[in-house]
Amino acid sequence: MKIIAISNQKGGVGKTTTAINLSTALAAIGQKVLVIDLDPQGNASTGLGINYNQREKTIYDILSGQVEIQSAIHQTNISNLSIIPSTVDLSGIEPELAHETDRAYVLKNIFNSTQALDDFDFVFIDCPPALSLLTVMAMTLANSIIVPLQCEFFALEGLSQLIKTIERVKNNLNPNLHIDGIVLTMFDGRNKLSSQVAEDVKTHLKEQVYETIIPRNVRVSEAPSFGMPALIYDHRASGSQAYIRLANEIIKQNNNQEAA
Ligand SMILES: Nc1ncnc2c1ncn2[C@@H]1O[C@H](COP(=O)(O)OP(=O)(O)OP(=O)(O)O)[C@@H](O)[C@H]1O
Ligand SMILES: [Mg+2]
């Protein structure tokens, strides 16, 4: 079982879209996948078809010790794919935990105390757009991190701050934490700037960048309003196909990491 946090404090770079579609692509090839929606916006929950009235047990309830993990795991309409949803309630957890000295470990301690995750091959944590306690909790629990980076002018801005946070978590809370890779998102081949940014990022960050680039694709942006991953909404769309390639790249990477 591998736990991967999908994180970038920049908003709207494709974290949730990547969490949804990468997990769907992995589930489609038989991997058992859990998404933890760790963002009070609840976008991953919506995008995976969990309506508000179905979210009676959420990640907030788990973090505040009110329910067992198992009871908050919702099966989605996609086989092999489950989710622990969130609602805006989750924004209350940071002030509630503010006085706890071990607050960074809360998520990890809860998950380590059960076998609830043992059934899964992959757990993806969809992080909020902030280097906040929620993100630090995700990084403390995770084995590794995937960073979506949008192909636009300010793509690299803030990346050094993100890397510093990851280093800090690694040094103080989770010694084996590492970045699995950076995934370029919303690439527009007709836009010179987009190509320039993709090239720059690959030059600077080299093998840290996944070969697969996710194109900007209207089908990908339409899908969440139907409560469906793009891969189900239109599996032939360029964005869906890209997430299938990314999933294969991640499986290969995972096999290599295990063999090493
Ligand atoms: N490949 C894509 N093609 C077209 N639109 C996309 C693509 N990826 C993401 N989007 C759209 O861009 C917007 C932001 O994406 P997303 O919600 O995944 O980003 P995020 O990083 O999770 O945002 P936040 O920081 O608010 O959590 C959404 O409207 C989404 O539908
Ligand atoms: Mg999001």
Average pLDDT estimate for 206-227: 95
pLDDT level of residue 258 (50, 70, 90 thresholds) = confident
Residue with CA at minimum distance from ligand 1 atom 8: 14
Q: What is the pLDDT of residue 207?
A: 87
241 close to ligand 1 (CB < 6 Angstrom): no
Q: Facing residues of 137 across strands?
A: none
Q: Which residue has the tokens 């909790």?
A: 137
Q: What is the pLDDT of residue 44?
A: 98
Q: What is the pLDDT of residue 233?
A: 98
229 close to ligand 1 (CB < 6 Angstrom): no
Q: Which atom of ligand 1 is nearest to the CA of 186?
A: 1
212 close to ligand 1 (CB < 6 Angstrom): no
Q: CA–CA distance from 103 to each of 47, 106, 107, 134, 136 (Å)?
A: 29, 5, 8, 10, 9
Residue with CA at minimum distance from ligand 1 atom 6: 221
What tokens appear for 15 in the block?
């974290």
Cα–Cα distance measured from residue 193 to residue 58, given in angstroms and rounded to the nearest whole number: 40
Which CATH number belongs to the domain containing residue 205 in this structure?
A: 3.40.50.300
Q: Facing residues of 82 across strands?
A: 34, 75
Give the ranges where 33-145 is alpha helix by DSSP (H). 43-47, 59-63, 69-72, 93-97, 106-112, 133-141
pLDDT tens for residues 88-98?
Answer: 999 999 999 99
2-6, strands of its sheet edge to edge: 74-75, 81-84, 33-37, 122-126, 2-6, 144-150, 178-185
9 close to ligand 1 (CB < 6 Angstrom): no
pLDDT, mean over the chain: 95
| Structural domain harbouring 104 | 2-259
> Which of the residue ranges 124-128, 150-154, 164-168 would you say has the lowest mean pLDDT?
150-154
Ligand 1 site-directed mutation target among 145, 221, 226, 234, most atoms within 8 Å of CB = 221
| Ligand nearest to the backbone CA of 13 | 1
15 close to ligand 1 (CB < 6 Angstrom): yes
* Counted domains in the chain: 1
Q: CA–CA distance from 93 to each of 90, 100, 133, 149, 165 (Å)?
A: 6, 11, 9, 27, 20
